[in-house]
Amino acid sequence: MNPLYHRTHYLLSALRLEDAPPDEGREVAFAGRSNAGKSSAINTIAQQKALARISKTPGRTQMLNFFVVDGQRRLVDLPGYGYAKVPDAVQKNWRRAMETYFQERRSLRGVFLLMDIRHPLTDFDRQMIDWCQHCELPLHIALTKADKLSRGAASGVLQQVRGRLKLEAGGMEVSLQLFSSLAKQGVDQAHAVLDRWLLDDTEETS
């Protein structure tokens, strides 16, 4: 595990992109349906218990939440949506904010998409994949709650999703892993992706 992420701390929350931190440095955004375990995954990756807000009521995170990793490097917890009890007007606001963020945020280097392994590739997930493809953003998918399935069943879902992505995602850059916050599974792999997007200087000198 990279100890760098243990120092991650909350910076601010923004309802609109104009209220976000200056568009400098590098960011990695975390996206996922409201019940995909996104906040738990962020906490596990940061090796902290309560960095990202965890609520028993999905859909409570309605803002862009920025966390500082180190200097000019940030993690961004995007609003989760798609939960049936969230009003349509709220979902439309979320969608507008996220589309603007994806299209205009220059410091955004990649998107971490969290999917519940028991319900992968929902309509929301496919929308996120389409946005990444349209904006030419690298995408990494973590199939969360992998502990809910046996090892063999989890591996089977991983292969199924990989096969469907090859058909649906075209030639875009996308990687895939199993993840469990409860079992601390896949943390090193997640850190490796973040390291590449946040710490690799080759893109700055190429």
**For the whole model, what pTM was predicted?**
0.91
Average pLDDT over residues 189-200: 96
The pLDDT of residue 152 is: 98
pLDDT for 77-116, tens place per residue?
A: 998 766 556 677 777 777 788 888 999 999 999 999 999 9
Residue-range domain boundaries for the chain: 3-104+113-205
Q: Which CATH class is domain 3-104+113-205?
A: alpha beta
Q: Are the beta carbons of 16 and 5 closer than 8 angstroms?
A: no
Which of 125, 108, 112, 102 lies closest to 46, judged by CA? 112
Which of 86, 94, 105, 82 lies closest to 26, judged by CA? 105
